[in-house]
Amino acid sequence: MDLMYNSTRSTDIQVTASQAILKGLAPDGGLFVPELFPALPVPVEDLAGMSYQETAYAVMKQFLTDYTEDELKRCIRRAYDGKFDTPQIAPLVSAGGAYYLELFHGATIAFKDMALSILPYLMTTAAKKNHETKEIVILTATSGDTGKAALAGFADVPGTRIVVFYPKNGVSPIQEKQMVTQKGANTCVIGIHGNFDDAQAGVKKLFSDKRLEAEISAEGFCFSSANSINIGRLVPQIVYYVYAYGRLLADGVLKAGDPMNVVVPTGNFGNILAAFYAKNMGLPIGKLICASNENKVLYDFFETGVYDRNREFILTSSPSMDILISSNLERLIYHASGRDAAKNAALMGELARTGRYALTEEMAAAMRDFAGGYATEEQTFAEIRRVYGQCGYVLDTHTAVASSVYHTGFAQKCGDVPAVIASTASPYKFARSVMTAIDPRYAGMEDFALIDELYGISGIRIPRAIEEIRTAPVLHDTVIEKDEMEAAVRRFLAR
């Protein structure tokens, strides 16, 4: 029997995995969730001997049941190959009193590569399986990393186009340069005057516009998403937590069945939700520690049971976490409500109307495995200095938020349970902030000079993704107001 997917907002929508990946968002505005959590198909002790690709197949075949073995293995083989600069794909490094799960060894040096390397293959396979003949138009909002990873994944993929919206002044210089130099006749990158939440809201509005859907369908197009609202993004992220547990077993840090804690720098909530899904598959995870920067809406949520986005939006040195509307949290709310779609829909409606909602006591109790913490800009920079000074290991700003939250608020409480910290980006992606944190004298240097200095102090090879953009020409220079997104998409499709 195939595992089916339901909408978080109604009981009358049910689709296969491939259909959920193809659609991206449910027609009622909800997110697709599996009808149940499948179990890990192998004993946990066997994880120690499995490669990343073997782990990926073991996990993903439980969720993507309408893909054949050949289809899924082909997607995995094409995704996790020489695009990654290490055969381990996601190395686990012990440094500074924790284990850092390095998720930045892909083509765009950020954790989004872990899922977006495979999503184009999953999506084009899904299109064939479901006899979709229309050209798939990927609409994506990015706070910095998803955009480039999605562009790299879908560039020149037959039968697809991709439009990425990003906040013009809300990403790092390197993140922006990576996006605006993207090659590919089917790619379009657009800056908006606004923040990530504005971009995300605009994309969701386009998805929910039935008039627009009918019009572009008549022109031979259909919309889909590469954001983490797409279940095809979430399922591949489960893999690396399972793989990390296997590495701890292989290194003798854990015995089979011993727990590990997970610490995740969190913005849109997809990365830590994947760890929650892994736990519900039977992976021995203890605490799920949600680390926020100064946009601490999630920290306040786990502390109070009230989600409230009515607050100042703060631009920080960890821009991928500068988010006040965490879309994937809806999936957790749905599970915590006992899969009550009506209850979830009511809470999401309240969020849309008032900008806030409150959990019931029962729902709060269902989230007891989660804990929140946050780090200020000063604490983030101090953590980069501490870890580098202690062992020479360089953290990017997002990973430093998580590391600070763990070491200041949880390390003593957790005792001997090892902490796996999701290391979500290469320090090269945020070289200015990282180098300034290590030594303020670097503040006045040009961006690529800072990259050379970072190589000098760390010995970490400069990634190909950085070298490629040093002299790359800008190919995308459109900047629009946030209410012009539909018009921009129409112009691109008219090419």
Please say whether the beta carbons of 154 and 140 come within 8 A: no
- Three-state secondary structure of the chain: CCCCEEECCCCCCEECHHHHHHHCCCCCCCCEEECCCCCCCCCHHHHHHCCHHHHHHHHHHHHCCCCCHHHHHHHHHHHCCCCCCCCCCCCEEEECCEEEEECCCCCCCECCHHHHCCHHHHHHHHHHHCCCCCEEEEEEECCCHHHHHHHHHHCCCCCEEEEEEEECCCCCHHHHHHHHCCCCCCEEEEEEECCHHHHHHHHHHHHHCHHHHHHHHHCCEEEEECCCCCHHHHHHHHHHHHHHHHHHHHCCCCCCCCCEEEEEECCCCHHHHHHHHHHHHCCCEEEEEEEECCCCHHHHHHHHCEEECCCCCCCCCCHHHCCCCCCCHHHHHHHHCCCCHHHHHHHHHHHHHHCEEECCHHHHHHCCCEEEEECCHHHHHHHHHHHHHHHCCCCCHHHHHHHHHHHHHCHHHHCCCCEEEEECECHHHHHHHHHHHHCHHHHHCCHHHHHHHHHHHHCCCCCHHHHCCCCCCCCCCEEEEHHHHHHHHHHHHCC
Closest CA to 175 of 294, 272, 317: 317
Active site residue 112: yes
CA dihedral 386, 470, 102, 388 (to 10 degrees): -10
Burial class (CB in 10 A: 0-12, 13-18, 19+), 46: middle
Rounded Cα–Cα distance for residues 161 and 164 (Å): 10
Helices 196-208 and 485-493 pack at an angle, to 10 degrees, of: 60
What count of Cα atoms within 13 Å lies in the side-chain half-sphere of residue 464?
9
Strands 260-265 and 356-358: unpaired
Which tokens in the block code for residue 446? 């040009």
Active-site choice (61, 83, 112, 296): 112
Residues known to be catalytic: 112
